[in-house]
Amino acid sequence: MELKKDSNAVSIDMLLIVHSEKRRAAHGTHSDRQADPGALPQRRGGLQGVGNGIRRWQKFEGNDVHGNLAEKQHPQQTQVITSYDNQGTQLTVEVHPRDAMPQLLKKFSLAKRLQGDKNGNTRPRQPGAKDAHVYPWDRSSLKSMPLDLQEFEKLDTYASQVTVKSGLDELVSDLLQEAHSDLERVRVIWIWICHHIEYDIEAAQEKDRQAFKPTDILRTQKTNCDGYAGLFEKMCRIAGVQCMTVPGYSKGFGYQTGQSFSGEFDHAWNAVYLEGRWHLLDSTWGSGLVDSATSKFTFLYNEFYFLTHPALFIEDHFPDNKNWQLLKPPQSLKQFENNMYHKSEFYNKGMLSAHPETSVIKTVNGKATVTVESCAPTLFMFMLNGKQEHGLLSLRKNGMKLDIYPPTVGTHKLQIFAKGKSDIYSSVLEYTLKCNYVDIGVRLPAELHQPVGPSWFSEQMGIMKPSHPDPIIHTSDGRCSVSFGVEESTSVLASLHGDEGPITEETQRRYIFQMQREKRAELKVQLPQAGKFALKIFVKKRLEPGNYVFVFNYLLCCTNTKVNWPMFPESFGNWGQDNELLEPLSGVLPANRNVPFKLKLHGIAKALVKGQDTWPLTLNQEGYWEGSCNTAGCQEVYVMVLENANHNFYSYILKYKVNAQ
């Protein structure tokens, strides 16, 4: 049955296939319940457009048909009778032998659809037990059937380049030129729609059904989700593949975490019958996305929604009929509302699971913890209320752990992003975080970036075997020493950041003194006062141009309020990373004192300390340059070296300040 809507009336073209009473009696009354190989697929009702542009099933009540049919026809002859009622409704009846092909099929473009499948079935069957997949997801595959996407590469390229020449039938015919199985037929239709049909936000809000006719969609190459699903179904049926449109609720554009669903359905997608089983897909979401800020559509192909595993599809698609979940056991609407929503990028980027498994989480003593498991090492980041603050994110070999400390009581938005194989971080999770208590004692430095602590990533960047594998370092006296292995081609840089105290951009490296011992780098750290500090680690390939790259940071914690360490001496460019300073480590020297110096310097001929006077340093048997100087009358003291004994030019390598008298 085909419904056609215009401004004046609704016309119904009906093909009614009947048999003589003698033949019906011969086959018994049970034949009424059997599918006739020549029968048109039937629906229980019509489709009514709703305000949001989505179809929903409703019963369709029409006028009674008036007119007299032929009194009796010979069963071996074919006769067509046409009758009209007083309101212009047309009824066409064809009487023909049981085994003959109905002549009126020539009037429809559905002949191929009625040829039947391998088992002789022509009516799409409803999903049953053999279509159902086990819930929850078994992690076996993102797809509902085995697929090798590389085998689709040439086919996808071909389908994406096919253009519309005239009508839908010719378009499907052109697409099928390179398709040799039902799976490939579905694939070319999917690829063409996803790469050519744009989501029309305005049309999605209109009530006019004309906007969603296949002819109009081909002309404008725009539609809404209902149009996507209807076009996909139409093209599949022309191609001889059983396909159904499935209406329901979705967690798509405009979805708010934790919201409930009621009333009219807001989305539509498709089910296709392949290899004896129903499979799900959504060409609307496969084609691109709508920017929430601009409400504009962007083509961005998403493979995830092609033959998606039903246990994953249910996360953002809830059908009107639970059988179309294709799950055992099926999920209730309440479960759909409460279950954690993993965005498609969550699975596209190799995520497997996340905890907590609910979209709304509550803090315990001011803290909430989120963990993600991935199938491969992955970079993550987070945002709390749009800022990368108030959290400790540590990378794991197969996932990450995030401890979050909301700064205020109330409701917060927590987003988790993952990088995957691309260079772009994509949103993969979103939580609503409810906090009823704030622990002021765990406030974190604003400059504490992600990730915290060494990981597989720092090892990949050339930092290995750290002395402190944990991300947090506690120090009782405000001092600590951190070391790690460094590849010979890698140069390391560190800086200290806190929210309070005298640390500025100029002095943030002066509380760290860096030394290189064989293939290990050592960072001596002295804190200016008690509190929490971010110790940032950067690396750079020595022979490559460019800037240092941030790798990770430590969180340094000190509760000793008596801590008040001065800065280390200022170092200059000639201070090599292989040099070692034993004393004095303080960058500020006492006035009117004899101060001992001890350093290990490589590749120099002479060394001296210059203040009011000059004091030479001597090389001892252990390889250290030693000596002392008097700070009387000095404001600054320098350590200077002569690299070539044949020259008289000394270079500055260290600078100390002297306390005022």
Q: Which residues are catalytic?
A: 225, 267, 282
User: What are the start-end ranges of the H helices in 446-598?
Assistant: 456-460
Alpha carbons 405 and 452: distance in angstroms, whole number: 15
The encoded tokens of residue 138 equal: 């078994």
Q: What is the DSSP letter of 143?
A: B
H/E segment holding residue 459: helix 456-460
- Rounded Cα distance between 531 and 474, Å, is 10
Give the E-state strand segments of 192-303 in sequence order.
Answer: 198-199, 222-223, 243-250, 267-274, 277-281, 288-290, 297-299
| Residue 631: count of CB within 10 angstroms of its CB | 21
Q: Which two tokens stand for residue 558?
A: 């000190």
H-run or E-run covering 231: helix 225-238
CB contact at 8 A, 271 and 237? no
What's 50's DSSP letter? -
The 3-state DSSP class for residue 449 equals coil
Rounded CA separation 530/556 (Å)? 10
Query: How many residues comprise the chain?
Result: 661
Distance CA(342)–CA(634), nearest Å, equals 66
What tokens appear for 229 in the block? 């699903």
Q: What 3-state DSSP class applies to 26?
A: helix
- Alpha carbon of residue 334 to chain centroid: 25
Cα–chain center distance at 131: 28
- CA nearest neighbour of 276 among 454, 465, 130: 130
Query: Dihedral (C-alpha) 113, 117, 120, 126: value to the nearest 10 degrees?
Result: -80
Q: How far is CA 435 from CA 262, 362, 364, 612, in A?
A: 29, 6, 8, 61
- Residues 521 and 514: beta-carbon distance below 8 Å: yes
What distance, in Å, lies between the first and last C-alpha atoms of the chain?
103
Measured CA distances, 92 to 83, 89, 96, 198 (Å): 6, 10, 13, 39
DSSP state of 543: T
Both tokens of 165, joined, read 């020449």
